[in-house]
Structure 1
Amino acid sequence: MSSDLAFEASPALWQACLDELSRELPEQQFNTWIKPLTAQIHPDQNKLTLFVANRFKMDWIRAQYAQKLTQILERLQGQPVQIELALTPRETPARTARPTPTALSPASPEALDMAEESPSQAFRSRLNPALTFDTLVEGSANRMARAAAMHVAGSPGQLYNPLFIYGGVGLGKTHLMHAIGNKLLADRPNAKVLYIHAEQFVSDVVKAYQRKTFDEFKQHYHSLDLLLIDDVQFFANKDRTQEEFFNAFEALLAKKSHIVMTSDTYPKGLTDIHERLVSRFDSGLTVAIEPPELEMRVAILINKAISEGSEMPEEVAFFVAKNVRSNVRELEGALRKILAYSRFNQKEVSIQLAREALRDLLSIQNRQISVENIQKTVADYYKIKVADMYSKKRPASIARPRQIAMYLAKELTQKSLPEIGELFGGRDHTTVLHAVRKIAGERQQLTELNQQLHVLEQTLKG
C-alpha cells in the first residue's frame, strides 16, 4: 500500500478538536456540520483527512469552518496541520481505490468534479440538499407540520398519505418538502424521489400531449417512491392536467408510494379543481403552517445570520422580528439588507443600524397597516359597519369580527394592548388580551378561521 493511503486513525487529536468546537459552536450548528465528520491522520501527523457525506457539505465546511479547524488542530498538535476533505467512500469491492481527497485550500472545481456522486443522483430528484430538518427552525407555528413530515420521511407509504401542507407564502412549506426528500434519500439512496412545482407538472403534461409521449410521461411519474409537488392551486382550470394528476395519484397510492403536496389554502378552499381530486387531497392528513411567532422569528434570524458567517445580537433580532412579521422570506430579506448595510458602512450590527437599513421597509409598513385600516378591512370582510368595532354591541355577528380585528391589531402593529383597547371604543387591555388569546387558540383548531385570517393578513400586507 502506498504511503499516501496508509492512514492511521487518531481518535485523541480529533476528539480533542471536537470537544473544543462543541464548546465554541451553537449545539445545532455543531451537530449538523461537525459531529458527522470522520477523521484520519497521516503517519507523519501533519495532515488530516476529513470525510464528508456529500459535496454540498464539503463546500460548506470548506467555506465556514476551514480556518477554525486549522487553528484548533495546530494549537492542539503544536505544529501546522494541513486539512483535506474527501467524500465518505461507499462500500465497494476490495480492489477499488479510496477516493482522492480534495485539499481544503485552495479548492479547484476540477477536484470537486472528480469527487464521487451518490447513486441516487442517477435519478434527478431536484432536491436542494441545504433544506433539511436540521436547518429548519421549529416553533409552534410549524410543529405539527414538521412532526408529520418527519413521520412521512421515516415511514413513507404508510400513515399520512397523502400529506397536504398549506399556508401563506414564505412560511417554510417548500423547505419541509425538501427535508422529507433529503431524509428519505439519506436512508434509502436508491429511492426514486422527485420534487417539482405544479407548473412543471402542467408543462410536462403539455409536452406529452404535443409529442404524444404519454407512455413515457406515465412511466416517469407512476414509478416514483415519493412525489413532492408544490403549489397545487396552479392546477385550477387545467382539466387535462388534473386528469393526469389524478391518474398519477391513484397509481402511486396503489403501489404504496407517498405523495406530499403544498398549497396556499386548505383542500376544500381550492377553486376550479375537480371535486374528486379535492377529495383525494383531503383523504390523508392536512396540516397548516402559520406565520412564525415572535420567538421563532428571532431564532430564524440568529440561525440565518450564523449561516451567513455573521452574528446578530439578540436585541437586534428581537427588533427586526417585531417589525417583520409576515413570513420567513421577508425575514431573510431584512437580514440580508442589515448585513449588507453593516459591511458597506463598516459598522457593527445594532438596533440603530437595523433601523437605518430597514428605513424604507419600516416606513411602508407603518403607513400601510394601522389599527384603523385593520378595522375597516375586517368590517368589510364580515359585512358589518366600521362603527361596530367601537360600539358596545355584543351579538356574535359583531363581537367575533371585533375580536379578530383586535388579534390582527396585536399581530400586525406595534400598538400596546391599552392602545388597541382605546382604539376599540375605550375597552380595557384585559378585553384585548382575552380576544388575542381566544383567536390565537382557535386558529390552531379551526381550519375555516385560519383560512379567513390568512386572507385578511394577505389583504392588509398588500
Structure 2
Amino acid sequence: MSVLVPLGGDLPEESRALAEALRRLFDGLGISVRRYAARRHRDPGSLSRFLNGTRIPPWEFVHDLIRDVAEEQGRAPTPEAIELLRRLHRTALACGGSALNRVQALEDELADADRQSMRSAALVRALEGALADAQHRAADLELQIRQLHGHQDRSAAERDKTLRLYEDQVTALLRERQDLMEQVEALGEDLKDAHARRVRAERRCEELERQLVAAEEHGEGENPPVADAALRDAPPTDAPPTDAAAKDAVPRGPVAEDTEARHGLDPRFVFGTFVVGDTNRFAHGAARAVAEAPATLYNPLFVYGTSAIGKTHLLCAIGHQARRARPGTRVRYVTAEALADEYRGAGRGAGLDAFRRRCLEPDLILVDDIQYLPDLGGLHEEFRHLFDELHGAHKQIVVSSDRPPKQLTHLGDRLRARLESGLITHVRPPEQAVRVTLLRRKAEQEGITAPPETLDYIASHVERNVRELEGALVRVRAFAALNRQPMDVQLAAVVLRDLVPDRGPSREEEAARRIIELTGDYFGVTAADLCGKERGRALVTARQMAMYLCRELTDLSPPRIGQLFGGRDQSAVDYADRKLRAMMAERRSIYNQMTELTARIKAVGGPRPDGWV
C-alpha cells in the first residue's frame, strides 16, 4: 500500500491529530508516497501507515519530513510548528499502548534527560571556574593588604603621609574584598543548585535507561518478530551517522589527529608498553636495534606472526624510538591496504608521481600486513621499484606479515626475494607470564578490579593472541557486572566454558562469512542485509554484533572485516567493537544475545553453505 486513504473513524484522537499534521506537512512536497519512499529508501507501506494514522512513526521520520519540506519550499519551519509536532508525536506515543511505542517514548525522554544533564554539567563547570577565579582574586587582595601593613620601617616623617595613603588603599581593597566574598557566596549557592540539578538529571537518565531496558525486554517477550520488523524501519540511534562517513563518527583527539596526519604512528604503541617474553624477545631486540641505528644493521627487517600478537606494536615503537633518538627523522607507517587504496586513487601521470614522492620521502618506512597487498594494476611491480630505491638510498624498511616471506607466493618471486634479503624474525603467541601481565595492564587501564587468580585462570585458558585475551576479560567483566557477582575463578570458568569458542589453526574469511550468515539467521535477515547500506535500528545492532564477533573470533584485521561488510572502513569496525563492549556490560538482553550467538557459532562446523552473497 503506497497511497493515502481517508482517515478511519476508529482512530484514537492522538493518532488522528498526528496523522492530519503529517498529511498537511507531506502535501508541501508535491510528490507521491511511492516516490518519496524511494527517495528516502523506505518501505512505501510503512510510510503510508504513518500518514494514514494506523502506525506511529519514529521522531526521526518526522524530523526528516520537516527538513525535506523545508528544502522543497525554500524556507525553514518555525520553532513553534516543530514544537507542536513534537508534542503531538509524544502524545500519540504515550497513548499508543504497545511495547514499541513505550520504547520510543522512553528513548525520547532519555535523549531530553541526557541533554539536560549535559547543560547542567556545563553550568557546573562554568560556576566552578568563576568560583575559583573569585577565590584567587580574594587571596591576591589579602596578600596586598598584608604587604601594605608590613611597611613599618619607613622614617617617622614619611610614615604619617604614607600611612594615610595606605589606609585609603586598604579601605578600598577591603570594600572590594567584601564585594568579592559576597560574589563567592552567591556563586557557591548557584554551584550547589547546579550540582543538585545535575544529580537529578543523572538519576533521571538512570531511571529512564532502566525503564528502556525493561520495555525492550518486555517487548521482545511479547512478540519478538513484530518488534524486530518495526525496529528495522526505525532509524538507528546508536551507530555512526552514515556508513560512508563512519570514520568521522569515531572520536579522535588532537594528539591522534596530529600523529596520523604526519606519520601514522599510534601513540600508545611504544617500547615502554611492549611486554617482553621468551616468544618475542628476539623480535623485540631486533626492533630496538633498527630503531637506534636505522639502515645500518638489518635492512629490511621482516616481522611475522599470527594476528594480534604485537607486530603493529613493534612497528610503531620502532618509529617512535627513531624519531626520539634522532629528531627530524622522517617516519611513515602505512598498512598494505591503505597503500593499495592510495595507489588506486593516484591513477597515472602527476598523481602517480606524487604517490612515489610520498613513499620515497621518509627515512624510515613501516609497512604493516604486507600479505594484504593486492596486485592492483601493477602495484607489486611498483612496490618492488620503490623498495629498490629506498634500499639504495640507505633508508630503513620494516615489513610485517602473518606468515614468512616464502609463503607469500602471491607477491611474486622478485618481491619475495627482496623481503627475504634482510633479517626475518618470528613473533609467537605470548606465554603464560606475558598473558598475565597483559591482562593486569588491561585491567588497570579499564578500571577493572579482578583478583590475581582470576587473571591467571583467564590467561591459562586463552592462549592464541592478545585480542582474544582482552575479549575474554571483557566478557567476564560484563557477566560479573550484570549478575552483581565478584570476578572470581568460578565465574570466569562459567563464562569461558560457554563463550570462548574452540578455535582451529585459522578462522579467516571463511569463518567470518559463517559468522555473518549465522547472525543473519538469528535476527531473521540475510547476509546481504548485514553487508548492505540499510540503517534500520535492529539491522544496525545485528550488523555491529556480527562485526564484533568477527573481530573477536577471527584473525582478520579490522580493515579486512570492514571490506567483508560491504566495503566499510576500519573506523566502523572499531566503533562496533567499543559499542558492544559497553552494551554487554549494561544491558542483559544484549549480553544474552551475544552469549547465544557465540554458542551457535561454536556449535556449527564445516564449510559455509552455498549461496552466500
TM-score (normalised: structure 2) = 0.39
Matches within 5 A, 1:120-131: 124-131=262-269
Contact between 1:137 and 1:296, CA under 8 Å: does it hold in 2?
yes
For residue 328 of structure 1, the aligned residue among 466, 476, 484 is 466
**Distance of 1:355 and 1:154 partners within structure 2:** 44
For residue 134 of structure 1, the aligned residue among 268, 272, 289 is 272
**Distance of 1:240 and 1:114 partners within structure 2:** 37
> 1:187: how far off?
2.6
- In structure 1, the partner of 2:387 is 249
Amino acid at match of 2:487: V
Amino acid at match of 2:296: Q
- In structure 2, the partner of 1:193 is 331
Matches within 5 A, 1:250-269: 250-269=388-407
- In structure 1, the partner of 2:429 is 291
For residue 232 of structure 1, the aligned residue among 367, 370, 381 is 370
Give unpaired runs (5+ residues) of structure 2: 1-138, 140-251, 506-604, 609-613
Q: Deviations over 1:124-172 (max 9, x none)?
A: 1111101111111111111111110111111111111111001111111
Q: Per the alignment, in what secondary structure is the counterpart of residue 280 of structure 1?
A: helix
**Distance of 2:261 and 2:330 partners within structure 1:** 7
**Distance of 1:276 and 1:258 partners within structure 2:** 19
> 1:369: how far off?
6.9
1:159 matches 2:294: no
- In structure 1, the partner of 2:64 is none
> 1:191: how far off?
2.1
> 1:359: how far off?
4.0
**Distance of 2:253 and 2:280 partners within structure 1:** 39
Q: Per the alignment, in what secondary structure is the counterpart of residue 469 of structure 2?
A: helix
Amino acid at match of 1:219: R
1:344 matches 2:482: yes
For residue 340 of structure 2, the aligned residue among 191, 202, 214 is 202
Contact between 2:331 and 2:365, CA under 8 Å: does it hold in 1?
yes
Q: Deviations over 1:184-213 (max 9, x none)?
A: 222334322111110111111111125751
Q: Per the alignment, in what secondary structure is the counterpart of residue 347 of structure 2?
A: helix
- In structure 2, the partner of 1:144 is 282
Q: Per the alignment, in what secondary structure is the counterpart of residue 425 of structure 2?
A: strand
Contact between 1:205 and 1:244, CA under 8 Å: does it hold in 2?
no
Contact between 1:236 and 1:271, CA under 8 Å: does it hold in 2?
no
Tell me the number of residue pairs that the alignment of Structure 1 and Structure 2 aligns: 260
Amino acid at match of 2:432: L
Per mean C-alpha deviation after superposition, the further-off stretch among 204-213 and 188-197 is: 204-213
Q: 1:123 to 1:361 in 2, by over 3 A?
A: closer
**Distance of 2:408 and 2:303 partners within structure 1:** 13
Q: Per the alignment, in what secondary structure is the counterpart of residue 272 of structure 2?
A: coil
Q: Which structure: greater strand fraction?
A: 1
1:317 matches 2:421: no
Amino acid at match of 1:151: A
**Distance of 1:259 and 1:244 partners within structure 2:** 15
Q: Which structure: greater helix fraction?
A: 2
Matches within 5 A, 1:432-447: none
Q: Deviations over 1:47-98 (max 9, x none)?
A: xxxxxxxxxxxxxxxxxxxxxxxxxxxxxxxxxxxxxxxxxxxxxxxxxxxx
Contact between 1:166 and 1:173, CA under 8 Å: does it hold in 2?
yes
Contact between 2:287 and 2:318, CA under 8 Å: does it hold in 1?
yes
**Distance of 2:253 and 2:339 partners within structure 1:** 33
Amino acid at match of 1:312: A
Amino acid at match of 1:233: Q
Q: Deviations over 1:81-121 (max 9, x none)?
A: xxxxxxxxxxxxxxxxxxxxxxxxxxxxxxxx999x79x85
**Distance of 1:148 and 1:312 partners within structure 2:** 35
Contact between 2:259 and 2:267, CA under 8 Å: does it hold in 1?
no
Q: Deviations over 1:9-37 (max 9, x none)?
A: xxxxxxxxxxxxxxxxxxxxxxxxxxxxx
The percentage of aligned residue pairs carrying the same residue is: 38
For residue 496 of structure 2, the aligned residue among 358, 376, 382 is 358
**Distance of 1:135 and 1:204 partners within structure 2:** 31
Amino acid at match of 1:358: L
**Distance of 2:253 and 2:406 partners within structure 1:** 50
Matches within 5 A, 1:44-63: none
Contact between 1:123 and 1:192, CA under 8 Å: does it hold in 2?
no
**Distance of 2:332 and 2:377 partners within structure 1:** 23
